[in-house]
Amino acid sequence: MKKLAVLGLAALAALGTPGCFRNTVSEMELDIPAMTTPAAAARVEQGLKTLGDAVKDIRLDPGNHRAVVKFDNVRLGRRNVEVAVSHAGFAVNDWPADEEARAKLPKEMQGHE
């Protein structure tokens, strides 16, 4: 019986080690049609950075109108990431641009949606 208790405690201790927790970082690809220049990409990046340190990595490709974002999925959902881009003035995936923010962008960044 003592042997079983020791094995049970060892199993519980193993569950408590950091390597046993599930990964909390997700990666998502964003389609941002109006992100066509480095300046537009900088605006998108600025919008994503408003999410703070929950955003772990941002890779922008204005030539292909795409971004890849890694984020802490315990603190943020996918929609939070899209809304941050929208609030920067850009339509993203199936989420429209915030029209007020879009109107404040330089004409060349407003794009065609």
Average pLDDT over residues 68-73: 97
In this prediction, residue 45 carries a pLDDT of 98
Tracing tokens 């890694």 back to the chain, one arrives at: 70
Predicted confidence (pLDDT) at residue 86 exceeds the cutoff of 60: yes
Could you tell me the residue ranges of all domains in the chain? 22-110
Which CATH code of 3.40.50.300, 3.30.70.100, 3.30.870.10, 3.40.50.150 fits the domain covering 22-110?
Answer: 3.30.70.100
- The share of the chain scoring above pLDDT 90, in percent, equals 72
What angle do the packed helices 78-87 and 38-49 form, to 10 degrees? Answer: 130
Q: How confident is the model at residue 19 (pLDDT cuts 50, 70, 90)?
A: low
For the chain, how many residues are written? Answer: 113
Average pLDDT over residues 33-49: 96
Joined together, the tokens standing for residue 103 give 């109107």
Q: How confident is the model at residue 1 (pLDDT cuts 50, 70, 90)?
A: low
DSSP per-residue string spanning 43-91 = HHHHHHHTTGGGEEEEEEEGGGTEEEEEEETTT--HHHHHHHHHHTT--
In this prediction, residue 5 carries a pLDDT of 47
Predicted confidence (pLDDT) at residue 91 exceeds the cutoff of 90: yes
Burial 38-76 (b: 16+ CB within 10 A, else e): eebbebbbebbeebeeebeebebebeebebebebebeeb
